[in-house]
Chain A
Amino acid sequence: MTSAPATAPWWHPFATPEGATVLHVDLTPDAAREAGASSWLDEEEAERWRRYPYSGPRRQFALCRAALRAVLCEQLGCGNEELSFPTSAHGKPAALVGGEPAPVSFNVSHSGRHGLVAFAPGGRLGVDVEELGPRRNLELLMEGVLGPAERAAVRSREGPDQPRFFLRLWTMKEALLKAHGRGFLLDATAFEIPPAVRRGATRGTLELPQEPGVIWQLEELGDERFAAALARDVSPGPAGSGAQR
C-alpha cells in the first residue's frame, strides 16, 4: 500500500448538494491509473481486486476505491494505511480510522466510464449512477422496480426519452435503497418517487411505508452522460443528517 497515487487524480468535484460532496470518478480504461490505484488498496481490497473475473468491474473497483481513500484521507486528516472499510451484513461499507468509526458517511456507485463518490459528515446517504443508453428488457425492469404510476409515466415517453426517464427514476430509487442499507432486500415497487419529482423537480422528500417518520431527501444529479441521484436521511435525530429544508 502506498501513501499517494502515482498519477494525476482521476476524480474531480462534481456537485455539492447541501452539506454533502459528490465527486466524479473517470473510469476510462487506463493501465497506469489502475496500477496506481491498486497500489493504494489494503491487502483485503487488493485480494478482492485480483479476484474480479472481468476487466471492467476490476477497473471500476480499483479506481473508485482509491479515489474514496484519497478524499477520505484528506477529509479526515489520516494516513491511507489507517483507513479500513468493513461491510455490514447487507454489504454496505463503513469507514474506520485506526479501527475506530470515522465521522463520515459515504457511498460509491459506478456505471460504464463513470463513478460517483458521495460523502457527508453524517447521516445515511446513498448515491447511484447509470450511464445513459438503450436498455434491454425495459418492461421487465419496470415490472421489477417501479410502482404503477411510475410505469405509466415511463410508458408515456417515447424513443430514447423512455430509457432515460426510467434511469432517472431508477437511480433515485437505487440511491434510496443504498442509503437505507438493505439494498435489494427492500421492495422497490412498494414506494414511488414523489409526483413533483417525476414531473421534473430535481429535489423532493419521501417516507418509506416500512419506516414511517424517517424523511428521505432525493436529489437528481444526472447530466447528458448519465442519470444519477443522491438520497439522504434528513430526519431530525441521530440517524439522519437533520439537513431537511
Chain B
Amino acid sequence: MAATEERLRKLVDDNLEIDGRTAGEPLDPDRNIAEAGVPSTDIVAFWKLVNEEFGVDIPAEEFAGLLTPAALVAYLDANAA
C-alpha cells in the first residue's frame, strides 16, 4: 500500500498543477482531489495517467468515485497487476 501511495504522489507531483501546493507535500488520504481544487483538465489527465502507470483500465464513471487517495490506493491494490 505504501508503494502505491508513493507512486500516486509522484504522479501528482509530476502532473497536477495546484496553485499553492508544493511538490512532495504528502497527500491527505481522505481529501477528494476535485474538492481540493484540482482543475478538471488535470483530473482527466490524472485518470489516464493512473491507468497507464498501474496497467488498469478504470472507466471514467468508476474513477469519479475514486477521487480520494485512500479510495484510489485501495482500488489499485486490489486490481492492479
Point out residues on A near B: beta carbons under 8 Å: 52-58, 60-61, 91, 111-112, 128, 130, 135-137, 140-141, 143-145, 170, 174, 183-185, 187
Interface residues of A: mostly helix, strand, loop or mixed? Answer: helix
Do the beta carbons of A141 and B44 come within 8 Å of each other? Answer: yes
Query: Once bound together, how far apart are the Cα atoms of A54 and B31, in whole Å?
Result: 12
A144 contacts which of B21, B31, B36, B44 (Cβ < 8 Å)? B44
Do the beta carbons of B45 and A53 come within 8 Å of each other? Answer: no
Q: Which residue of A lies closest to B67 (CB)?
A: A184
Question: B39 contacts the other chain (Cβ, under 8 Å)?
Answer: yes
- Assuming the contacts A144-B45, A144-B48, A145-B44, asked whether A54 and B39 have C-beta atoms less than 8 A apart, the reply is no
Do the beta carbons of B20 and A54 come within 8 Å of each other? Answer: yes
A140 contacts which of B18, B34, B48 (Cβ < 8 Å)? B48
Question: B54 contacts the other chain (Cβ, under 8 Å)?
Answer: no
B36 contacts which of A54, A91, A128, A137 (Cβ < 8 Å)? A54
Distance in Å: Cβ of B37 to nearest Cβ of chain A: 2
Residues of B within 8 A of A55 (CB): 19-20
Query: Which size class do B's interface residues fall under?
Result: 20 to 34
CB-based A-B contact count at 8 angstroms? 73
Q: Which residue of A lies closest to B31 (CB)?
A: A53
Do the beta carbons of B48 and A54 come within 8 Å of each other? Answer: no
Point out residues on B near A: beta carbons under 8 Å: 15, 18-21, 28, 31, 34, 36-41, 43-45, 47-49, 52, 60-61, 63-64
Residues of B within 8 A of A112 (CB): 19
- Assuming the contacts A52-B36, A53-B28, asked whether A137 and B45 have C-beta atoms less than 8 A apart, the reply is yes
Query: Once bound together, how far apart are the Cα atoms of A52 and B48, in whole Å?
Result: 25
Distance in Å: Cβ of B33 to nearest Cβ of chain A: 10
Distance in Å: Cβ of A231 to nearest Cβ of chain B: 14
Residues of B within 8 A of A137 (CB): 15, 45, 48-49
Residues of A within 8 A of B40 (CB): 128, 174, 184
Distance in Å: Cβ of B64 to nearest Cβ of chain A: 5
Query: Once bound together, how far apart are the Cα atoms of A174 and B20, in whole Å?
Result: 24
Distance in Å: Cβ of A64 to nearest Cβ of chain B: 12
Query: Once bound together, how far apart are the Cα atoms of A137 and B64, in whole Å?
Result: 20
Residues of B within 8 A of A174 (CB): 40
- Assuming the contacts A111-B39, A140-B48, A144-B45, asked whether A54 and B60 have C-beta atoms less than 8 A apart, the reply is no
